[in-house]
C-alpha cells in the first residue's frame, strides 16, 4: 500500500533543506541570476554540510541521487529516493539553479548512484559529476546518440560532441553517454565517467540561457579522448535482449528528481501569489465552489489543484523506487505532469500578480524563466508522453514512434 505522507524520519531533512533554501538560496537568488556564469561561492559551505549528511547516512537534500540495490530479500528501503525528492522540493523552493550548482550534487552523481558497481561507487565518492547526453543532432531521443567509444587495449577512446551539459565546466567529471557499436542500436549505448583534465576532453563554450542562469551550461567536445575501461559504468556486454534498459535505469531515478525541482519552483510561485492576492483583498475560500468566487481566486484554486496532482505523482514514483517496484511509467508521468504544470503555474502567477509579476521587484518573473528548462531536460514533455503511451499500450519503441 502506498503511503504518500512525509515519513517522520524525513521531517528533519525537509526542515534542514527548507532552512538552507530560505537562508542561503533565496537571499542570493537574484544576485546570481544577474551574474551569469559566476560561481556561487556561498554554496561551498552548504555543500560540505550535505556531504556530511550523505556520509553519515542521514541523506542530503541535494540532487546526488541514491544507490539502487539488486538484493530484493531485505525488505523495503523506505526513504532513499523519497528523501532526496523531498529535499530537492525544498531546495528548489529557494532556487533551482543554485541547487543545480551545488558541488557533488549533480545529475551525473545520480547516474553513478544508479548504475555504478561497488568499486566504482567507492572510487568516485566525492567526485562532482555532470551528465552529458544531448548532442547537436540528438535531443530527447537518447537512442540516436552518435558519440562513440572504441575499446583500445585497457582504454576506451571517446569521440563526439555534447551540448547543454549542466555544470559541464565546474564539475570534476562528466558522465558521458556513447555507443560501443552503432550497428547494435540502443543496447550498445553505455555511460562513461570522464574526469576533467583528460587529454582530448575540451569545454568549448558556455551557453547564455533564458533561465537557471546561476548554473553553467556547457558544450563539450571529445576528440580521441582515452579513458580507462574501468570507467564504464555497469557492464560492458551488449545485451540486445535488454535493449536500452541499462542506461535508462538512470532516468528512473533522475526524472522524479527533476519533477521534484519543478514542484519546488511551482510552490514558490503559488505561495508568493497567494500572499499578493491576500494583500489585494482577494480571499481564496476552499469551502466554496470556484465559480462562485473572485476570478483570481478561482484561477488560483485551479493552479493549486494542478500542483497537488504533480506533487502526488512525484511522491508515488519515488516511493515505488524505494520499494523496488518498476517505476518507469510513473517516473515519466511525474516528469510530464510536473514539467508542464510548473510552466503553466509560474506564467499564470505572473499574470495574477500584474505589473509586480513582470518586474524584477519580485522573483516571480525569474521563476517563470527557470520553469521552462524543467519541462525540457531529462526528456521533453513530448518524449515523456510517448513513453507513457508505450507503457500503457504495451508497445515497443519500434511500434510506437
Q: What is the dihedral sign for C-alpha 86, 367, 331, 299?
A: positive
Q: Which domain holds residue 33?
A: 8-123
On the question of pLDDT at 378 being above 90, the answer is: no
Residue 399 maps to a domain = no
Residue 300 maps to a domain = yes
Task: Give the highest mean pLDDT range of 61-70, 73-82, 354-363.
Answer: 354-363
- d(Cα 58, Cα 367) in Å, to the nearest integer? 30
* Alpha-carbon radius of gyration of the chain: 21
pLDDT band at 314 (very low <50, low <70, confident <90, very high): very high
Q: What is the DSSP string of 313-331?
A: HHHHHHHHHHTT---HHHH
Q: What is the pLDDT of residue 138?
A: 86
| Mean pLDDT, range 117-136, rounded to an integer | 92
What is the helix (H) or strand (E) element at residue 189, kind and residue range?
strand 189-195
On the question of pLDDT at 4 being above 90, the answer is: no
Same domain, 276 and 389: yes
Share of the chain above pLDDT 70, in %: 89
Same domain, 179 and 274: no
Residue 401 maps to a domain = no
Q: What is the pLDDT of residue 53?
A: 60
Q: What is the mean pLDDT of the chain?
A: 89
Residue 76 maps to a domain = yes
How many domains is the chain partitioned into structurally?
A: 3
On the question of pLDDT at 60 being above 60, the answer is: no
Residue 1 maps to a domain = no
Query: What's the CATH number where 334 sits?
Result: 1.20.140.10
Residue 144 maps to a domain = yes
Query: What's the CATH number where 60 sits?
Result: 1.10.540.10
Candidates 135, 161, 365, 378; catalytic one: 378
Residue 400 maps to a domain = no
Residues 200-257 pLDDT 10s:
999 999 999 999 999 999 999 999 999 999 999 988 888 765 555 555 667 787 899 9
Residues 389-398 pLDDT 10s:
999 999 988 8
On the question of pLDDT at 73 being above 80, the answer is: no
Same domain, 32 and 110: yes
Q: 123, 145, 163 — which closes off a domain?
A: 123
Same domain, 113 and 153: no
Same domain, 310 and 201: no
- d(Cα 4, Cα 330) in Å, to the nearest integer? 14
Q: What is the pLDDT of residue 22?
A: 97
Residues 93-102 pLDDT 10s:
999 999 999 9
Query: What's the CATH number where 134 sits?
Result: 2.40.110.10
pLDDT band at 75 (very low <50, low <70, confident <90, very high): very low
Same domain, 118 and 137: no
Q: 63, 92, 123 — which closes off a domain?
A: 123
| Mean pLDDT, range 112-140, rounded to an integer | 89
Go through 230-240 and write b for each residue having 16 or more CB atoms within 10 A of its CB, e for each that does not: ebbbbeeebee
On the question of pLDDT at 62 being above 60, the answer is: no
Same domain, 164 and 72: no
pLDDT band at 9 (very low <50, low <70, confident <90, very high): confident
* Residue 378 designated active-site: yes
Same domain, 262 and 373: yes
Residues 262-296 pLDDT 10s:
999 999 999 999 999 999 999 999 999 999 999 99
CA distances in angstroms from 340 to 175, 330, 343, 375, 385, listed in the order given = 27, 15, 6, 6, 11
Q: 107, 123, 139 — which closes off a domain?
A: 123
Residue 41 maps to a domain = yes
Same domain, 178 and 269: no
- d(Cα 127, Cα 171) in Å, to the nearest integer? 8
On the question of pLDDT at 2 being above 70, the answer is: no
Whole-structure pTM over 0.85, yes or no? yes
Same domain, 178 and 265: no
Same domain, 259 and 372: yes
CA distances in angstroms from 111 to 22, 26, 190, 350, listed in the order given = 28, 28, 11, 35
| Mean pLDDT, range 304-314, rounded to an integer | 96
On the question of pLDDT at 186 being above 90, the answer is: no
Q: What is the pLDDT of residue 10?
A: 87
> In 198-327, which residue ranges form alpha helices assigned H by DSSP?
245-279, 295-322
Same domain, 65 and 85: yes
Amino acid at each position: 500500500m502506498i503511503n504518500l505522507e512525509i515519513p517522520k524520519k524525513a521531517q528533519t531533512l525537509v526542515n534542514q533543506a527548507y532552512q538552507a533554501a530560505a537562508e542561503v538560496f533565496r537571499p542570493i537568488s537574484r544576485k546570481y541570476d544577474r551574474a551569469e556564469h559566476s560561481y556561487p561561492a556561498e554554496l561551498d559551505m552548504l555543500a560540505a554540510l550535505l556531504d556530511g549528511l550523505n556520509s553519515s547516512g542521514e541523506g542530503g537534500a541535494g540532487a546526488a541521487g541514491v544507490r539502487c540495490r539488486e538484493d530484493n530479500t531485505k525488505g523495503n528501503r523506505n526513504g532513499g529516493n523519497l528523501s532526496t525528492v523531498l529535499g530537492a522540493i525544498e531546495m528548489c523552493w529557494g532556487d533551482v539553479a543554485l541547487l543545480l550548482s551545488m558541488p557533488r550534487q549533480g545529475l551525473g552523481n545520480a547516474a553513478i548512484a544508479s548504475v555504478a558497481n561497488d568499486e566504482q561507487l567507492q572510487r568516485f565518492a566525492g567526485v562532482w559529476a555532470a551528465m552529458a547526453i544531448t548532442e547537436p543532432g540528438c535531443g530527447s531521443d537518447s537512442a540516436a546518440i552518435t558519440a562513440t567509444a572504441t575499446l583500445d587495449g585497457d582504454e576506451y577512446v571517446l569521440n563526439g560532441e555534447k551540448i547543454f551539459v549542466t555544470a559541464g565546466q565546474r564539475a570534476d567529471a562528466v558522465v558521458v553517454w556513447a555507443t560501443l557499436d552503432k550497428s547494435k542500436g540502443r543496447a550498445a549505448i553505455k555511460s562513461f565517467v570522464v574526469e576533467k583534465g583528460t587529454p582530448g576532453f575540451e569545454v568549448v563554450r558556455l551557453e547564455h540561457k533564458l533561465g537557471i542562469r546561476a548554473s553553467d551550461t556547457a558544450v563539450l567536445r571529445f576528440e580521441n579522448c582515452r579513458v580507462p575501461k574501468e570507467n564504464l559504468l555497469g557492464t560492458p556486454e551488449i545485451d540486445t535482449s535488454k535493449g536500452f534498459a541499462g542506461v535508462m535505469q538512470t532516468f528512473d531515478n533522475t526524472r522524479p528528481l527533476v519533477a521534484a525541482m519543478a514542484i519546488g519552483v511551482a510552490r514558490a510561485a503559488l505561495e508568493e501569489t497567494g500572499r499578493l492576492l491576500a494583500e489585494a483583498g482577494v480571499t481564496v475560500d476552499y469551502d466554496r465552489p470556484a465559480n462562485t468566487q473572485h476570478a483570481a481566486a478561482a484561477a488560483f484554486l485551479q493552479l493549486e489543484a494542478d500542483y497537488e496532482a504533480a506533487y502526488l505523482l512525484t511522491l508515488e514514483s519515488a516511493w515505488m523506487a524505494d520499494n523496488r517496484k518498476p517505476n518507469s511509467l510513473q517516473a515519466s508521468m511525474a516528469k510530464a505532469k510536473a514539467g508542464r504544470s510548473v510552466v503553466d503555474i509560474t506564467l499564470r502567477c505572473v499574470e495574477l500578480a500584474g505589473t509586480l509579476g513582470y518586474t524584477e521587484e519580485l522573483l516571480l518573473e525569474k521563476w517563470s524563466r527557470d520553469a521552462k528548462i524543467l519541462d525540457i531536460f531529462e526528456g521533453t514533455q513530448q518524449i515523456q508522453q510517448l513513453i507513457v503511451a508505450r507503457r500503457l499500450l504495451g508497445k515497443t519503441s519500434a511500434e510506437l514512434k
